[in-house]
Structure 1
Amino acid sequence: MSRVKRLMHGVHTPIQPQFDSLVDTGRVSCRQGDVDPGKEVTAWGFQTQNVNRKAGLRECFHARHGCVFIASDYDKCELCTVSQINILMHREKGQPDKNVKLAQELNAGRDPHLALGGKLIGIDYAEALSRKKDPQVKYVRQAAKSANFGFPGGLGITSFINFAKYTYGVELDEAKARRLKAEWLTAYPEFNLYFGIVRSMLRENGKDDDGNPKLRADVTHPYSLRKRGRVPFTVACNGFFQGLAADLAKDAGFLISRECYCDPASPLFGYRIINFIHDEIVIEGPRSTCHAAAVRMKEIMEDAGRRWCPDCPPKATPSVMYRWSKAADDTIDPVSGEYIPYEEMPGYKVAA
């Protein structure tokens, strides 16, 4: 059944995604579920974790009458978690925290994508910030973003070129990709130690079809001590920080859910988690209490961030809306200073 037909059924019956609370990476996954022919359908599934980014599609999802969605995500979550992992690795090797440059930038409130992008064109952070709407600066920031999210996972140059193109729309030839990686490692030299430690964990685990040894690592995640065995280099690189982000988000999700169901004194009581998108949690509940609920949601998420990433905690940013929308951002009423629905903000425009 097409996604359009599933959305049409949502007019009369609930949209009910099916979640798996633990996959190999430690994350939560989502699927739309199957409909059995001949059976009465009381709810239609939809894959709500990876909804197409085309304008207007997310807006098809509307909160129930009298209710709003509150979507809160962690800002630069995996950059914070990879920085925390790097700090732990540096301490294990007797090296100071100050060597983890990415953590220093994040804790100072700087935008690492803009900082690295500025270096690519030879300007300092202050100038890059003042020119952030300049097309050249916007382009190099996007290129830097592809580096900051691609290279920590151990991508090789060919894989990175494809990642940058299809994920961020940045087209690079081999020479430019190599230069970008060199600039990235110069900006964040802590990753030399990171990759070295992961490589030292690799052990031979059988042969591939050509008779070459398959190198695999056993990963133990910090704090949760969750284990994942026999993974290749890139999966191990990715797994450390992606797994920590998953543990962090699930901790926050559990505590939010507990107050939604079990704490009548909480402003979250009566709300329900309706979507869980890795480092973003979406809840639904009464419009009348949305400000207090958004504030409490932010508190819980940032408390969890400090527990799991004590040296580089991520911030959480809630947004209130009637329709699910990526355009909803900073939905604080400039007059009252309270969270209000995006659609009630001054100057609101319907998504094109």
Structure 2
Amino acid sequence: MRTYRVITQPAELEALRERLLAEPVLGVDTETTALDPYRGHLRLLQLATRSEVFVLDLFVLGRQALEVLRPVLEGERPVKVLHNAKFDAKMLLHHAGIELGRLFDTMLASQLVAAGDMAKRHGLADVVERYLRERVEKTSQLSDWSGQLSSEQLDYAARDAEVLLPLRQALIEKLKELGLVRVAKLEFECVIPTAAMELAGMPFDVERWQTLVEAWEQRRAHLEEALRRELAQGVTQANLFGQVEINVNSPQQVLTSLRQLGLPVEGTSEIDLLAYRDHPAVRLLLEYRSVQKLLSTFGRGFLEHRHPVTGRLHGDFHQIGTPTGRYSCSEPNIQQVPNVPEIRACFRAPIGRRLIVADYSQIELRILAEFSQDPKMLEAFLNGLDLHRMTASWMFKVPPEEVTKEQRAIAKTINFGLMYGMGAVSLATRIAEVRDGVGIPLVEAEALIASYFEIYRKVAEWLRAASDTAVSLRQSRSQSGRLWRFQFDPTDREQVAAIQRLGKNFPIQGTGADILKRAMRLVYEALRPYDAQIVNSIHDEIVVEVAEEQAEEVAHLVRERMIAAGREFIKTVPIEVDVAISDAWTK
């Protein structure tokens, strides 16, 4: 490792600033006393040029050091190179109000180059070893950064910054080689909006949540008792006290009890029970499991995620959380919160503020229409028609105004299902759900699919070409160039079928992720003059918290920017964004 300079004298800062402003690119890293920006503090700021490394002790220099270096950190030049830039961005934004300017994130770049291989690790040590064939020692990472720093800690801090510039160069070559430059820019520009969203956190009404959980617990207890009574009717043997003991959480005991009631069920999964859900025991079992799942996922344990400083929920948003480029979220997974009014009502704006919930309308179907240029699908979207109703009208050969609710639901199932590679068996199962357990023969499901593709011939052609390309090239791309490379055995029919399904879906879902990422940046920029902030993002939805008096104006602006983002990727199909202003996370 090159020698490095530890900066502890404020008098050195102005000269350092001018020196750094002359650089085209700069490695940047921080060391903190905790991972949570609301509980930890910035201890070191490491800055690496092509020839030197500077380590600034912010406990000695104070916050003024960051003010002096603000033009370096916030400017378009030099380009800041960081690994997991979101972490450092949150720390700098929270503690110094510094918003990093143009940046390159080596972790995100590594994830893009991995091209859907979720088994690869993307920690700094892993990425350096993979692309530079060097080792980075990380034993000091979790050491105490709040006291007197050792030479080992300073060496570690300097090394983390020093390695970023050669790592960037190696990753740039891979990004160019794989055609990933456009999507890399898209992801890098989304880092700051994501960091700011995490810092803002989602507002959360604890008292309302506790009341809701208590109601769930009471409902569970009632259902458990009723279910035991119902299941016990088929049991002939009781215990010494004349009671029938059935563990309703045991699939085997439940299966045995259901069979003793005369139900020829093969298992106790929801699919197995679907045909028998009118039976009292099955109805109670399904409802019991539904409430039990709510309590296990969103019960009292969910309250532990409320931040003690802010009172909010600060999820950890993984920017490339799936191969398609969608976000994933953890600790807690706010994206997983069910779209149920009584649950969403617990996520409420503070007094004097409102929530704007904006989501793309049928974005994946619009992407499919754009890609396929199917005349029938284009006709529906260009004329602002209800695509599901029109699909039902064409398939069932009835006027649009005479389409029944059931027919529209079936058409909706087909519209969304076929672009995910859904076959006749799956369609028959889904239609049974729509029709309250009344299924259709397999041959009828096959006829529906054939009818659909007769109407949307260009859709059929595009889906076939997309699946064939995925198999022949062993890869698929989104509109931005996001890449998923496939590993499979071409002699294994099941593996080939799985890749065909991915080939149909990935370009659509990946482009949806591209649009959402672009929208995040455009909305974030548009909110600067307002008392507003992004607080959540889910697949095709952005949630903004705003001062009540600015809500209408900001809602209009959010809709405009989201449409503008969509138009960068979809040129011929209109983009629609549904916007609602509410006290809570509801539409």
Can you give the 5+ residue segments of structure 2 that lack an aligned partner in the other structure?
1-295, 488-498
Q: Which residue is 1:177 aligned to?
A: 445
Matching residue within 189, 192, 201 for 2:469: 201
- 1:25 shift after superposition: 1.0
Q: Is the 8 A contact 2:307 2:314 kept in 1?
A: no
Q: Which residue is 2:328 aligned to?
A: 29
> How many residues matched?
276
- 1:120 shift after superposition: 4.1
Matches within 5 A, 1:219-258: 219-222=476-479, 224-230=480-486, 232-258=499-525
Query: Which amino acid in the other structure matches residue 194 of structure 1?
Result: W
- For residues 245 and 313 of structure 1, what CA distance do their matches in structure 2 show? 14
Matching residue within 368, 377, 390 for 1:115: 390
- 1:244 shift after superposition: 1.0
- For residues 241 and 310 of structure 1, what CA distance do their matches in structure 2 show? 15
Q: Is the 8 A contact 1:143 1:170 kept in 2?
A: no
2:414 matched to 1:147?
yes
Q: Which residue is 2:300 aligned to?
A: 5
Change (3 A) 1:143 1:176: same
Report the TM-score, using the length of structure 1 for normalisation.
Answer: 0.72
Q: Which residue is 1:191 aligned to?
A: 459
Can you give the 5+ residue segments of structure 1 that lack an aligned partner in the other structure?
34-44, 88-98, 129-136, 205-215, 329-352
Change (3 A) 1:323 1:172: same
Q: Which residue is 1:322 aligned to?
A: 583
Same amino acid, percent of matched pairs:
24
Change (3 A) 1:171 1:283: farther
Q: Which residue is 1:93 aligned to?
A: none
Query: Which amino acid in the other structure matches residue 382 of structure 2?
Result: N
- For residues 536 and 343 of structure 2, what CA distance do their matches in structure 1 show? 16
Change (3 A) 1:184 1:5: same
Report the TM-score, using the length of structure 2 for normalisation.
Answer: 0.44
The structure where helix makes up a greater share of residues is 2
Change (3 A) 1:112 1:2: closer
- 1:122 shift after superposition: 2.8
Change (3 A) 1:67 1:225: same
1:60 is paired with a residue whose SS is: coil
Change (3 A) 1:123 1:282: same
- For residues 513 and 325 of structure 2, what CA distance do their matches in structure 1 show? 6
Change (3 A) 1:184 1:281: same
2:581 matched to 1:283?
no
Q: Is the 8 A contact 1:117 1:141 kept in 2?
A: yes
Q: Which residue is 1:51 aligned to?
A: 337
Q: Which residue is 1:106 aligned to?
A: 381
Q: Is the 8 A contact 1:71 1:283 kept in 2?
A: yes
1:62 is paired with a residue whose SS is: coil
Matching residue within 332, 340, 348 for 1:62: 348
Q: Which residue is 1:308 aligned to?
A: 569
- 1:217 shift after superposition: 2.9
Structure of larger gyration radius: 2
Q: Is the 8 A contact 1:219 1:236 kept in 2?
A: yes
* CA RMSD between the two structures: 2.4
- 1:140 shift after superposition: 0.8
